[in-house]
Structure 1
Amino acid sequence: MSLNGKVAIVTGSGRGLGLAYAQELARQGASVIVNDVDEATAAAAVASITDAGGNATAVVAPVGPTETAKKLVDTAFETYGRLDILVTNAGVLRDTVLWKMSDDDFDTVIDVHLRGTFTCVREAATRMREQGEGGRIICIGSPTGQRGNFGQTNYAAAKAGIVGMVRTWALELKRAGITANTVIPVASTAMTATLPYFAAAVEAEQKGEPMPAFYRHDLGFGTAADVAGLVAYLASDAAADVSGQAIGIGGDRLQLWSHPEPVATAYREGGWTYEALRESFAAEVGELQSVGESFPPLPDELQRPTA
């Protein structure tokens, strides 16, 4: 097991993707601090790990406040004597279009995803630097943070912000031997289970059958377990040279996302006035960049009747 002797914190790991990450880290030998806001959910997650022969301890607390970050890191050291891996997965959704989004809708999502990632990484990185043996920071992003998505102003802002912070942390933590990366998962969740487009995939997963190849290959869409292997890899010594990256995974697909780079550059002596831009912008810039994700039509055999 590649993570023997390592200690990991996984926020938001009571269920879903976070639970899959925690279970895989434990399967690879790490002792895991499980985190959830619900005590029974956290206890069940711990039991799923310990019943399989792993080591796990729960911290029941909402991610966001500095106090929770300190509690998570302190528990790792008090229980297992060290900290090597942090996976920031905790999150909530408050989806609605811009003109209907309240301050609370925005602030709640930013607080858990963005501030929660910041406070947990700040505390973990501080203690890892003091420990002096390097470490692994793995933050969970989203295609929404890369491309945007209708009705997710708050979530898109948080997930894009996480990628920006990770690139900065990769620079700041390099000398301490601490890597920082973002994982961009595409997997079956409670949300996708309600969408008719994914019905055939959800049905297959519920039956314990392989998802159709259209989902796994063409869309890069799979189960939570399909994502967990990448998290464990990035947590291992094998990934010591991987840092500052945004890596997508889902189903049968692995992707390395590019960093933002200019796709067109033009120069004009004296600068770009309004008149010059009006005359030349389209010709100089060329094709504009697309936004949002688009999905191909479902094959006929995967169509499901809608109510």
Structure 2
Amino acid sequence: MDLTGKVAIVTGSGQGLGLAYAKELARGGAAVVVNDVRQETADTAVAEIVAEGGKAVAVVAPVGSTETARALVQAAVDNFGRLDILVTNAGILRDKVLWKMTDEDFDAVVNVHLRGTFTCAREAVNRFREQGEGGRIICIGSPAGQRGNFGQTNYSGAKAGIVGMVRTWAMELKKAGITANAVCPVAVTAMTETVPIFKPFIDEAKETGILPDVIRREVGMGTPEDVAGVIAFLASDAAADITGQAISIGGDRLALWSHPEMTETAYHDGGFSADEIAAVWPGTFANNLESVGEEFPAEVLAVTK
């Protein structure tokens, strides 16, 4: 994808998925504002991009506040003259079951993922509208936000909220030529290494350098580099008509998440009382309830038992 002359911000891009996104955008010709909370990590990421012939600068600050969002946009404008692409990738985990999750656990995750996405998108859109040439908002969601995940009330809630915001922004920003999409990646990172169902396969891959086909294809999990292509695609002119979507990518699999739809309906003149719902439920709804959590192939489940 030719991104020559474009300028991108990638939050949380000092390492892992964010660094893979930043490098891919730079390879396409975009100048990149790298963001991380650690100066050394950010500087190393910038050095790697520059060593490959790209252009990059660093902004060291935690995502969440309006001040950080404004600093990121200002860095893009001051160093490269404009802004065309925002990738909101920054994230943290504070996993605990509901009854053990503290206010601090909840607020920390929601502040970075949900509020950070909102503040950065708002500042980027203000710049896009000022330039009058459109723009790209690419927000990083998660399968956990689509289906839920044990121990991740804060994370799942924030990621579901991100997809909801993207759908709203797609409507609000259409006239300005600004697209908004969510990407739900699955990749081997420091965050996924802690997930019990993935650990045996990741440990094996560290020894062999290979993830089995069932993981790459059926689960759709691979390397951060496997995800980066969809970021560059959505940032490019080729994706000018794609907006409001939630796209899954990982390993050898690319997929599109559906928007929620009503799957079963019933009608009753004058509305439903509790007793009338109880009467209609078994025949109309009981056999069509949705599952929760991700569903994995039997081959994967067998390894983790």
TM-score range, shorter chain: over 0.9
1:273 to 1:173, Cα distance in 2 relative to 1, 3 A: same
**Distance in structure 2 (CA, Å) of the matches to 1:241 and 1:50:** 31
- Show the counterpart of 2:12: 12
- Show the counterpart of 1:88: 88
* Amino acid in the other structure paired with 1:212: P
Give the drift of 1:201: 3.8
Residues 133-177 of structure 1 deviation map (CA, whole Å, 9 limit, x = unaligned): 110000000001000011111111100000000000001111110
Q: Residues 1-307 of structure 1 correspond to what in structure 2 (within 5 A)?
A: 2-195=2-195, 197-199=197-199, 201-203=201-203, 205-206=205-206, 209-285=209-285, 286-298=287-299, 303=303
* Amino acid in the other structure paired with 1:287: N
**Distance in structure 1 (CA, Å) of the matches to 2:300 and 2:274:** 48
**Distance in structure 1 (CA, Å) of the matches to 2:158 and 2:204:** 32
Residues 248-282 of structure 1 deviation map (CA, whole Å, 9 limit, x = unaligned): 00111111100111000111112111111111112
Name which of structure 1's ranges 285-294 and 20-29 shifts more when overlaid on structure 2: 285-294
**Distance in structure 2 (CA, Å) of the matches to 1:16 and 1:43:** 15
**Distance in structure 2 (CA, Å) of the matches to 1:66 and 1:20:** 25
**Distance in structure 2 (CA, Å) of the matches to 1:195 and 1:118:** 27
**Distance in structure 1 (CA, Å) of the matches to 2:97 and 2:200:** 28
* Amino acid in the other structure paired with 2:61: A
Aligned to 1:149, what secondary structure does the other structure show?
Answer: coil
Name which of structure 1's ranges 60-69 and 214-223 shifts more when overlaid on structure 2: 214-223
CA RMSD of aligned residues (A): 1.7
Counterpart contact for 2:11–2:34, Cα < 8 Å: yes
**Distance in structure 2 (CA, Å) of the matches to 1:20 and 1:43:** 15
**Distance in structure 2 (CA, Å) of the matches to 1:293 and 1:198:** 13
Give the drift of 1:44: 0.5
**Distance in structure 1 (CA, Å) of the matches to 2:194 and 2:108:** 23
* Amino acid in the other structure paired with 2:116: G
Give the drift of 1:211: 1.9
1:284 to 1:195, Cα distance in 2 relative to 1, 3 A: closer
Provide the aligned length of Structure 1 versus Structure 2. Answer: 304
**Distance in structure 2 (CA, Å) of the matches to 1:299 and 1:241:** 37
TM-score (norm 1): 0.95
Counterpart contact for 1:197–1:298, Cα < 8 Å: no
What's the % identity of the aligned pairs? 64
* Amino acid in the other structure paired with 2:298: P
**Distance in structure 1 (CA, Å) of the matches to 2:214 and 2:150:** 24
Aligned to 1:298, what secondary structure does the other structure show?
Answer: helix
- In structure 1, runs of 5+ residues without a counterpart are none
**Distance in structure 2 (CA, Å) of the matches to 1:101 and 1:261:** 31
Counterpart contact for 2:98–2:153, Cα < 8 Å: yes
Aligned to 1:5, what secondary structure does the other structure show?
Answer: coil
Residues 154-211 of structure 1 deviation map (CA, whole Å, 9 limit, x = unaligned): 1111000000000000011111100000000011111332455434542465357342
Name which of structure 1's ranges 257-266 and 189-198 shifts more when overlaid on structure 2: 189-198
Give the drift of 1:293: 1.1
Residues 67-112 of structure 1 deviation map (CA, whole Å, 9 limit, x = unaligned): 0000000000000000000000001111101111111111111110
Name which of structure 1's ranges 209-218 and 3-12 shifts more when overlaid on structure 2: 209-218
**Distance in structure 1 (CA, Å) of the matches to 2:88 and 2:243:** 16
1:299 to 1:173, Cα distance in 2 relative to 1, 3 A: closer
Name which of structure 1's ranges 200-209 and 83-92 shifts more when overlaid on structure 2: 200-209
* Amino acid in the other structure paired with 1:215: I
Counterpart contact for 1:34–1:59, Cα < 8 Å: yes
Aligned to 1:138, what secondary structure does the other structure show?
Answer: strand
Name which of structure 1's ranges 147-156 and 281-290 shifts more when overlaid on structure 2: 281-290
TM-score (norm 2): 0.95
**Distance in structure 1 (CA, Å) of the matches to 2:83 and 2:15:** 22
